[in-house]
């Protein structure tokens, strides 16, 4: 069993009862964190000096449609309606399994490069079993930890989730990989008939799977009442966006343990509605974070954390001025909370809170070293703020399940140039097909 001893860094464990940041060593054995403490003695372990760095739990991007990586940035000026028209009304039908593979491979590698170790891959373009298998293989090849949230293109509200395909993936392509788990990306109560929504939720519960759904504003469809009345909302339910959910419904869902994933940069820019951050905080909850679509916004979850933090502070400042006539004398939301959204809350949303999101003995060794010696971060008086203010150039090293996936600022993948060439070819073919259509 390999052993690695990380020394010299400021460590942000995100674990309850520990300081915000502390100078401690981390001993990694195999794929797990074996010990945390000062001046650990492990003479048989490989020592790694991380003086001047900040080590954090691996980031969690809880919601990304990774299959769209080949069309990166084409929708930077799209509204939500244009996105749905051009992507889901046009591009999806032209995807081949190879397009799914290379988009997922390149997209997952980019996530690792940005410090993400766990990805919620919301794959609602599994046109055939071959498309799904190719998407899974792209994740495996990248070496990222992922929840493959299997879905299909938008379909008739009375059509249930394809459970035969769910079971095939459970028994084969997903079960065989230690870093992968399966979830269901369902149309959900907003876009399914009540009976179909209940059946999909019940099927996920019977299999012990996270069930994730979109909700982006507008009046609620009858399926919501049906799922609630069936008692199927639970901590295994993940609502993406959740914009404009009424206060009473938010309270019901939070009390049931439902998790929420906000993709704030995309939500604010495309017209999904106001992010649910404030609504959740008022109810004692908190969001997880995602970046949603590389077709529209960059896939950096730390950017999502900063946007979510700044947006909520702006709303709270405005409310304070309206109420009191003056500026607030203290921040309503802290930088540490924003980092929690990108780690602890993401792990909860994907059903992985017992494995990732914190640096503790027994947890998976998913770690990120941020180089705070760089000019844009030095001096790092506040390690948490330094992490939030960091960019790709500061992500020096990424470890997933005890294995280095990025080291000395370089991705440890052998064929990056080939990946880029194949991604370009895929994207150009899809754009040509969309233009012809």
d(CA 244, CA 236): 21
Whether residue 421 lies inside any domain: the answer is no
Q: Which parts of 272-381 fold into alpha helices (H)? A: 277-282, 301-324, 335-341, 344-349
* 381 φψ region: left (φ > 0), alpha (ψ -120 to 50), beta (else): alpha
CATH number at residue 153: 3.20.20.140
Cβ atoms within 10 Å, residue 39: 8
User: Does residue 67 share a domain with residue 39?
Assistant: no
For 396-405, what is each residue's pLDDT tens digit?
A: 999 999 999 9
Q: Do 418 and 18 form a contact (C-beta atoms < 8 A)? A: no
| DSSP code string of 331-344 | -SS-HHHHHHHTTH
Query: How buried is residue 41: exposed, middle or buried, by Cβ count under 10 Å (0-12/13-18/19+)?
Result: exposed
d(CA 163, CA 143): 27
* 144 φψ region: left (φ > 0), alpha (ψ -120 to 50), beta (else): beta
Whether residue 328 lies inside any domain: the answer is yes
DSSP 3-state of 70: helix
**Residue 143: CA count within 13 A, CB half-sphere:** 18
User: Does residue 372 share a domain with residue 261?
Assistant: no
For 352-381, what is each residue's pLDDT tens digit?
A: 999 999 999 999 999 999 999 999 999 999
Q: Do 333 and 309 form a contact (C-beta atoms < 8 A)? A: yes
- Model confidence at 437: pLDDT above 60: no
User: Does residue 136 share a domain with residue 211?
Assistant: yes
Average pLDDT, the chain: 96
Whether residue 419 lies inside any domain: the answer is no
Q: 32 has which bridge partners?
A: 29, 364
Last residue of a domain, one of 344, 374, 390: 344
Domain extent at residue 322: 61-344
Q: Do 174 and 133 form a contact (C-beta atoms < 8 A)? A: no
- Model confidence at 143: pLDDT above 60: yes
CATH number at residue 396: 2.30.40.10
User: Does residue 248 share a domain with residue 122?
Assistant: yes
DSSP 3-state of 163: helix
For 17-47, what is each residue's pLDDT tens digit?
A: 999 999 999 999 999 999 999 999 999 999 9
Q: Do 130 and 317 form a contact (C-beta atoms < 8 A)? A: no
Whether residue 204 lies inside any domain: the answer is yes
User: Does residue 204 share a domain with residue 272?
Assistant: yes
Whether residue 200 lies inside any domain: the answer is yes
User: Does residue 376 share a domain with residue 246?
Assistant: no
For 111-141, what is each residue's pLDDT tens digit?
A: 999 999 999 999 999 999 999 999 999 999 9
Whether residue 426 lies inside any domain: the answer is no
User: Does residue 230 share a domain with residue 160?
Assistant: yes
How does 88-100 read in b/e, with b if 16+ C-beta sit within 10 Å? Answer: eeebbeebbbbbb
Query: How buried is residue 51: exposed, middle or buried, by Cβ count under 10 Å (0-12/13-18/19+)?
Result: exposed
């Amino acid at each position: 069993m390999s052993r690695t001893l990380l020394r010299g860094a400021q460590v942000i464990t995100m674990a309850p009862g520990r300081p915000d940041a502390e100078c401690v060593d981390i001993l990694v054995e195999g794929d797990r964190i074996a010990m945390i403490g000062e001046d650990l003695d492990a003479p048989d372990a490989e020592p790694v000096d991380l003086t001047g760095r900040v080590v954090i739990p691996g980031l969690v991007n809880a919601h990304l449609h990774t299959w769209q990586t080949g069309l990166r940035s084409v929708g930077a000026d799209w509204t939500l309606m244009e996105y749905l028209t051009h992507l889901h009304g046009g591009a999806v039908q032209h995807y081949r399994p190879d397009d799914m593979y290379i988009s997922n491979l390149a997209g997952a590698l980019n996530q690792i490069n940005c410090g993400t170790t766990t990805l919620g891959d919301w794959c609602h373009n599994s046109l055939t079993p071959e498309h799904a298998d190719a998407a899974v293989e792209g994740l495996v090849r990248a070496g990222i930890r992922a929840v493959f949230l299997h879905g299909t293109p938008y379909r008739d509200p009375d059509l249930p989730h394809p459970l035969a395909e769910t079971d095939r993936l459970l028994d084969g392509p997903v079960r065989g990989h230690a870093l992968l788990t399966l979830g269901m990306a369902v149309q959900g109560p907003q876009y399914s008939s009540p009976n179909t929504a209940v059946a999909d939720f019940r099927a996920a519960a019977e299999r012990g799977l996270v069930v994730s759904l979109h909700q982006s504003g507008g009046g609620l469809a009858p399926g919501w009442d049906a799922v609630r009345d069936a008692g199927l909302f639970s901590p295994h339910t993940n609502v993406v966006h959740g914009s404009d959910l009424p206060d009473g419904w938010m309270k019901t869902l939070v009390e049931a343990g439902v998790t929420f994933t906000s993709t704030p940069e995309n939500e604010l820019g495309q017209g999904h509605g106001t992010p649910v951050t404030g609504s959740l905080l008022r109810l004692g909850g908190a969001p997880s974070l995602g970046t949603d679509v590389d077709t529209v916004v960059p896939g950096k979850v730390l950017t999502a954390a900063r946007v979510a933090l700044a947006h909520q502070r702006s709303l709270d400042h405005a409310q304070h001025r309206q109420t009191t006539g003056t500026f607030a004398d203290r921040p309503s939301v802290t930088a540490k909370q924003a980092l929690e959204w990108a780690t602890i809350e993401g792990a909860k949303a994907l059903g992985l809170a017992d494995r990732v999101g914190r640096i503790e003995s027994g947890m998976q060794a998913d770690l990120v070293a941020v180089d705070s010696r760089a000019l844009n971060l030095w001096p790092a008086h506040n390690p948490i703020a330094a992490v939030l203010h960091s960019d790709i150039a500061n992500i020096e090293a990424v470890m997933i399940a005890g294995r280095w996936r990025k080291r000395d600022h370089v991705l440890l993948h052998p064929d990056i140039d080939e990946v880029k060439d194949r991604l370009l070819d895929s994207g150009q073919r899809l754009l040509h097909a969309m233009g012809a259509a």
